[in-house]
């Protein structure tokens, strides 16, 4: 009966967000939503208006939204019914009216195969909506309310001062009806306006952790300042530009017993790197506050209930909360260093630690996959750090680093894996007379994709296929490739040689290839994660 629960959650969240008017054009696929709207009206939560012509229904909702200034949903069934809303959506776009389209649909697997009354309607309004999403009755129940709330917030223009239409395409599976229950009582997601200079207060008393994902320098400084002023532990990704105030082993500590005591998380930037952070942000017993001045905000766990442009701690937490995390971080850092030093061969964490130390307060770029995760365990703060974490791909990393170096007019160091390096080999090339950057590229060469060994696919069950479909050894020597470009390059086999190579000043473009044996990568990763269990 997931379709009934999905519809009830969507309508309940609409009411929680302050929706008081709704328009319905009846149909079959939209039946669960129609019944939920009727229940909401019977309970006095909203007024429902029913029309048989979808085009008229769309403009009725437009008028209701225009006069009230609040989002008004218009609900239709699938197929041409949705298309009839396009004129109203276009008008809402150009006149800045918070119209919310909720279109019922069949499951995605039935689109494009000739199923009755089914077309590709999820993208129908794409040029005109402020935001759109596919909502599936078979997805996580927490996503239903979160996507509905986001659609209301963005349609209202909160945070952007740009109200307009939004679209939820709701994929409802059979059975459509039966098992209806009372509408749940839900909490509104609040998006405070981004205009003005007054920061929102943070209510004292909750055990709080600050998380900062990938972020520009200004945002990283905000996260660090809040952590310092409030006495909060800060877990910051390497490209957060907030590492100077962060716990070194924060992502590992979130696997310790301390994490169970967290009551509130304040999020800055775009956190995507650590599974332990993702688990924290998905917990239903933790208040999630997102700090973002942008119209949209990160909430992959679907748990954020408050979005603010800036925060100020009401008063410092002097309960010893931060000191406990700092003591645990010191213990865990020492154990990490001991474990890495015990390895008989050069490892990814050792390479990352050497690179981060060599950069100091300079400029560092990190390639995705395993190197940025190894850098997450390295000491060091003060550097300006860049990474392509928007979609976390390995594409164009060298070319991006060249751009960073040319724009900053400072020496830059790039740490990346061999596959990332080979993927953008043309980034080494520039035409005659073109500007050349001061850029050192350190290639952690483990002859393939070591990150997959740390994931589920590295399990012994997949050993027969692992090397070919995950490890993907390229069979290309990066040193010879760099030599073909006429660029200085050296291969290093141990930590002493690596340190010596990194000590040389960066003048022009040069490459250091560090040989890494990835056969023990899974075991090392398991040992690193297990260290959190030993924290006192």
Distance CA 20, CA 10 (A): 14
Q: Say yes or no to pLDDT of 179 above 80.
A: no
Distance CA 372, CA 515 (A): 17
Q: Say yes or no to pLDDT of 345 above 80.
A: yes
Highest mean pLDDT among 26-30, 67-71, 209-213, 306-310: 209-213
Q: Say yes or no to pLDDT of 431 above 80.
A: no
Q: What pLDDT, on a 0 to 100 scale, did the predictor assign at position 410? A: 93
Q: What pLDDT, on a 0 to 100 scale, did the predictor assign at position 401? A: 95
Q: What pLDDT, on a 0 to 100 scale, did the predictor assign at position 196? A: 59
> How far is residue 177 CA from its own chain's centroid?
35
DSSP strand pairing (489-492 vs 412-417): unpaired
Nearest CA-CA partner of 271 in 315, 303, 316, 314? 303
Q: Say yes or no to pLDDT of 201 above 80.
A: yes
Per-residue pLDDT, averaged over 304-313, amounts to: 89
pLDDT, mean over the chain: 93
Report the range of poorest mean pLDDT among 94-98, 112-116, 150-154, 341-345.
Answer: 112-116
> In whole angstroms, how far apart are CA 125 and each of 87, 91, 120, 284?
10, 12, 11, 33
Long-range contacts for 315-320 (Cβ within 8 Å, ≥24 apart)? 315/204, 316/229, 316/230, 316/231, 317/204, 317/207, 317/208, 317/230, 317/231, 317/232, 318/231, 319/207
Q: Say yes or no to pLDDT of 161 above 90.
A: no
Residue 332 pLDDT level (bands cut at 50, 70, 90): very high
Residues 90-143 have pLDDT tens digits of 999 998 999 999 999 999 888 878 787 788 899 999 999 999 999 999 999 999
Q: Say yes or no to pLDDT of 292 above 80.
A: yes
Per-residue pLDDT, averaged over 416-425, amounts to: 96
Residue 403 pLDDT level (bands cut at 50, 70, 90): very high
Q: What pLDDT, on a 0 to 100 scale, did the predictor assign at position 195? A: 64
Provide the whole-model pTM. Answer: 0.88
Secondary element (H or E) of residue 358: helix 348-359
Per-residue pLDDT, averaged over 503-519, amounts to: 96
Q: What pLDDT, on a 0 to 100 scale, did the predictor assign at position 4? A: 94
Taking the CB of residue 244, how many other CB atoms lie within 10 A of it?
Answer: 16
Residue 318 pLDDT level (bands cut at 50, 70, 90): confident
Q: Say yes or no to pLDDT of 536 above 80.
A: no
Q: What pLDDT, on a 0 to 100 scale, did the predictor assign at position 312? A: 83
Q: Say yes or no to pLDDT of 533 above 70.
A: yes
Starting at the edge strand found earlier in the chain, the sheet holding 234-236 runs 190-191, 304-308, 287-291, 264-268, 208-212, 234-236
Residue 48 pLDDT level (bands cut at 50, 70, 90): very high
Q: What pLDDT, on a 0 to 100 scale, did the predictor assign at position 319? A: 85
User: Peptide bond preceding 175: is omega within 30 degrees of 0, i.e. cis?
Assistant: yes
Higher-pLDDT residue of 199, 225: 225
Q: Say yes or no to pLDDT of 197 above 70.
A: no
Per-residue pLDDT, averaged over 176-198, amounts to: 84
Q: What pLDDT, on a 0 to 100 scale, did the predictor assign at position 209? A: 97
Q: What pLDDT, on a 0 to 100 scale, did the predictor assign at position 183? A: 94
Structure token pair of residue 403: 């751009």
Per-residue pLDDT, averaged over 224-243, amounts to: 95
């Amino acid at each position: 009966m997931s379709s009934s629960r999905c519809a009830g959650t969507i309508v309940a969240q609409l009411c929680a967000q302050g929706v008081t008017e709704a328009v319905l054009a009846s149909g079959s696929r939209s039946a669960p939503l129609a019944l939920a709207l009727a229940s909401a009206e019977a309970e006095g939560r909203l007024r429902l208006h029913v029309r048989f012509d979808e085009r008229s229904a769309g403009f009725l909702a437009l008028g209701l939204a225009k006069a009230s200034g609040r989002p008004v949903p218009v609900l239709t069934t699938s197929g041409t019914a949705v298309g009839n809303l396009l004129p109203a959506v276009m008008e809402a776009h150009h006149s800045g009216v918070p119209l919310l389209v909720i279109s019922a649909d069949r499951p995605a697997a039935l689109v494009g195969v000739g199923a009755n009354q089914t077309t590709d309607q999820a993208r129908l309004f794409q040029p005109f909506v402020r935001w759109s999403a596919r909502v599936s009755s078979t997805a996580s129940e927490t996503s239903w309310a979160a996507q509905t709330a986001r659609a209301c917030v963005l349609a209202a223009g909160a945070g952007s001062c740009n109200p307009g239409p939004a679209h939820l395409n709701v994929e409802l599976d059979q059975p459509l009806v039966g098992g209806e229950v009372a509408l749940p009582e839900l909490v509104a997601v609040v998006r405070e306006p981004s205009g003005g200079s007054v920061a929102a207060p943070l209510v004292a008393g909750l055990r709080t952790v600050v998380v900062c994902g990938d972020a520009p320098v200004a945002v990283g400084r905000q996260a660090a300042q809040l952590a310092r002023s409030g006495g909060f532990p800060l877990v910051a990704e390497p490209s957060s530009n907030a590492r100077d105030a962060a716990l070194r082993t924060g992502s590992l500590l979130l696997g310790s017993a301390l994490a169970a005591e967290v009551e509130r998380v304040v999020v800055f930037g775009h956190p995507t790197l650590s599974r332990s952070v993702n688990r924290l942000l998905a917990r239903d017993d933790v208040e999630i506050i997102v700090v973002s001045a942008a119209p949209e905000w990160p909430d992959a766990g679907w748990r954020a209930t408050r979005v603010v442009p800036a925060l100020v701690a009401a008063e410092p937490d002097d309960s010893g909360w931060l000191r406990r995390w700092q003591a645990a971080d010191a213990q865990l850092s020492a154990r990490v260093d001991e474990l890495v030093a015990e390895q008989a061969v050069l490892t990814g964490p050792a390479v990352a630690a050497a690179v981060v130390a060599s950069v100091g307060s300079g400029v560092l770029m990190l390639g995705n996959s395993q190197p940025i995760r190894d850098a997450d365990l390295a000491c060091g703060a003060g550097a300006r750090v860049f990474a392509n974490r928007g979609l976390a791909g390995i594409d164009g990393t060298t070319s991006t680093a060249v751009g960073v170096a040319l724009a900053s007019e400072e020496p830059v160091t790039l740490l990346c894996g061999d596959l990332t390096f080979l993927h953008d080999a043309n980034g080494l090339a520039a035409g005659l007379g073109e500007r050349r950057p001061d850029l050192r590229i350190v290639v952690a060469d483990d002859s393939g994709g070591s990150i997959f060994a740390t994931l589920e696919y590295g399990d012994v069950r997949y050993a027969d296929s692992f090397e070919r479909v995950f490890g993907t050894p390229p069979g290309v020597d990066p040193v010879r490739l760099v030599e073909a470009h006429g660029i200085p390059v050296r291969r290093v086999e141990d930590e002493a040689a690596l340190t010596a190579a990194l000590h040389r000043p960066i003048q022009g473009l040069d490459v250091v290839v560090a040989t890494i044996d990835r056969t023990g990568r899974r075991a090392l990763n398991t040992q690193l994660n297990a260290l959190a269990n030993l924290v006192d």
